[in-house]
Amino acid sequence: MKTVIIGAGPASLMAATQAVKKGGEVIVFEKMKTAGRKFLVAGEGGFNLSHIGELDDFISYYSHAEMANIIRQFTNEDLIHWLEDIGIQTYVGSSGKIFPIKEIKPAMVLTTWLNYLKQNGVVFVFHATLIDFDQNSVTIKTKNECENITFDRLILGLGAASWPKTGSDASWVSLFQSKKLEVIPFQSSNAGCVCNLPSDFLTQFQGSIFKNVIVSHKNNNRKGEVLVTEYGLEGAPIYYLNPSIRNDFSFPIIIDFKPNYQLTEIVDFLKKSKNTTLGLKHLKLPDAFIFWCKTYLNKDDYTDHKVIASHIKHFMVPINRLRPIEEAISCCGGVSWGELDTNLRLKKFPNISVIGEMVDWEAPTGGYLLQGAFSMGFVAGSAI
């Protein structure tokens, strides 16, 4: 049995991990000069390998129902045990995110994993780009040469379109389309939001953090921290709301700066304060919000407790768009589920599986993305 895997991201590495257990030859081709570029980028920003949570709840974070069957076959618990098996201890952070223990840096996780694969016989070929495929062979370009390589099973883990400098540039999309395989257009996911707030306000307050706020969009909401940037807002609650925001830019983001207070409690508090400015300060509202009230409300509104309280509970931020895909943490879109069977094989090419972010699903940050990639790799690799 010869298994060819293309792309050396986490989904593919997990597929290789499972495939090599079945015996036979396993070769991984990667167009960059090293493996796991985006995996290491994820390492720079927190490196949530997964997230704790009871399975039904965990699965609810994924956009597509098809992911449930995939995650169930290789769960967050399975991941922790498997990481332990290859020598990577993990811990659960206060927010439920699963990290490698502090002594183990992201590069060490990757190196440990790659060494494990190499010791078990997996062969890696770098600077090797997929150009074409059919039922039994792939065309791979290395330097200036193109080579045809036959396979019994092919697993494609080519990634999506965000952070293209990591190698995941979605250049495979036209190849898939030429084979009449449906690819849903990629869009930004887990992206910051460009907001229609005054530019002088954004310039002055970029870098400010709104802590313990509830951010909502339509019927969806999320508690957490929001970062003000030169173009608008970033942060986990904004990322969580991306699917809702993407579907209706005409609806504003609403921030509740005091989720533990009722509107009437805030009005009473303000009434007892010497003046509005002192009241806002005593309520420990962010400087940026106080500045906004002082600068952009007229005097009557600024001194009206009900108006101020309603801005504290329902601060409306009009949306322009999400940040471009190149900057987004992940994407939605990709190979349509209609093209796949339950083991992630292409129905039109039953010897070929597609895994990871190149398939049409999305999930919030916090470990759900990597867990999705790991689980898909597990399913495709085990199905050999």
- Backbone dihedral angles phi then psi of residue 60, each to the nearest 5 degrees: -65, -15
Please report whether residue 90 would count as binding ligand FAD according to CB under 6 A. no
Please report whether residue 365 would count as binding ligand FAD according to CB under 6 A. yes
Annotate 276-331 with three-state secondary structure.
HHHHHHHCCCCHHHHHHHHHHCCHHHHCCHHHHHHHHHCEEECEEEECCHHHCCEE
- Backbone dihedral angles phi then psi of residue 209, each to the nearest 5 degrees: -120, 130
What is the closest distance, in whole angstroms, from the C-beta atom of residue 21 to ligand FAD in the complex?
A: 19
| CA 200 remoteness from chain centre | 31
Region from 8-16, 111-119, 197-205, 278-286 binding ligand FAD, contact rule CB under 6 A: 8-16
Please report whether residue 159 would count as binding ligand FAD according to CB under 6 A. yes
User: Scanning residues 292 to 331, which ones bind ligand FAD (CB under 6 A)?
Assistant: 329-330
What is the closest distance, in whole angstroms, from the C-beta atom of residue 224 to ligand FAD in the complex?
A: 15
What is the closest distance, in whole angstroms, from the C-beta atom of residue 118 to ligand FAD in the complex?
A: 17
* Closer residue to ligand FAD in complex, CB, 317/328: 328
Please report whether residue 29 would count as binding ligand FAD according to CB under 6 A. yes
Token pair in block for residue 40: 């290491």
Among 4, 5, 20, 31, binds ligand FAD (CB under 6 A): 31
Q: Of 30, 264, 32, nearest to 155 (Cα)?
A: 30
Give the interface size with ligand FAD as a residue count (CB under 6 A): 40
Site string for ligand FAD, 249-268 (x = CB under 6 A): --------------------
Instruction: State the greatest distance between any 2 C-alpha atoms of the chain, in Å, as a whole number.
Output: 80
CA-to-CA separations, 12 to 154, 159, 316, in angstroms, rounded: 11, 10, 43
Site of tokens 């003046």: 275
Burial class (CB in 10 A: 0-12, 13-18, 19+), 248: exposed
| CA 371 remoteness from chain centre | 10
Buried b (16+ CB within 10 A) or exposed e, 346-376: beebebbbbbbbbbbbbbbbbbbbbbbbbbb
20 contact partners, CB below 8 Å, separation of at least 6: 26, 117, 120, 121, 122
Please report whether residue 113 would count as binding ligand FAD according to CB under 6 A. no
What is the closest distance, in whole angstroms, from the C-beta atom of residue 250 to ligand FAD in the complex?
A: 28
What is the closest distance, in whole angstroms, from the C-beta atom of residue 151 to ligand FAD in the complex?
A: 14
* Closer residue to ligand FAD in complex, CB, 47/257: 47
Please report whether residue 167 would count as binding ligand FAD according to CB under 6 A. yes
* Closer residue to ligand FAD in complex, CB, 159/235: 159
Instruction: Report the side by side order of strands in the sheet with 97-100.
Output: 50-51, 97-100, 90-92
- Backbone dihedral angles phi then psi of residue 128, each to the nearest 5 degrees: -125, 110
Site string for ligand FAD, 331-360 (x = CB under 6 A): -------------------------xx---
What is the closest distance, in whole angstroms, from the C-beta atom of residue 131 to ligand FAD in the complex?
A: 7
Residues 311, 251: contact at Cβ < 8 Å?
no
Please report whether residue 37 would count as binding ligand FAD according to CB under 6 A. yes
Site of tokens 């706020």: 213
Please report whether residue 188 would count as binding ligand FAD according to CB under 6 A. no
Among 17, 30, 88, 117, binds ligand FAD (CB under 6 A): 30
Please report whether residue 45 would count as binding ligand FAD according to CB under 6 A. yes
What is the closest distance, in whole angstroms, from the C-beta atom of residue 231 to ligand FAD in the complex?
A: 17
Please report whether residue 367 would count as binding ligand FAD according to CB under 6 A. yes
Please report whether residue 106 would count as binding ligand FAD according to CB under 6 A. no
* Closer residue to ligand FAD in complex, CB, 106/286: 106
Residue 372's H or E segment, with its range, is helix 368-382
What is the closest distance, in whole angstroms, from the C-beta atom of residue 368 to ligand FAD in the complex?
A: 6
Other CB atoms closer than 10 Å to residue 100's CB: what's the count? 19
| Residues lying near ligand FAD in the complex (CB under 6 A) | 6-12, 29-32, 37-39, 41-42, 45-48, 129-130, 157-159, 162-163, 167-168, 171-172, 329-330, 356-357, 365, 367, 369-370, 373
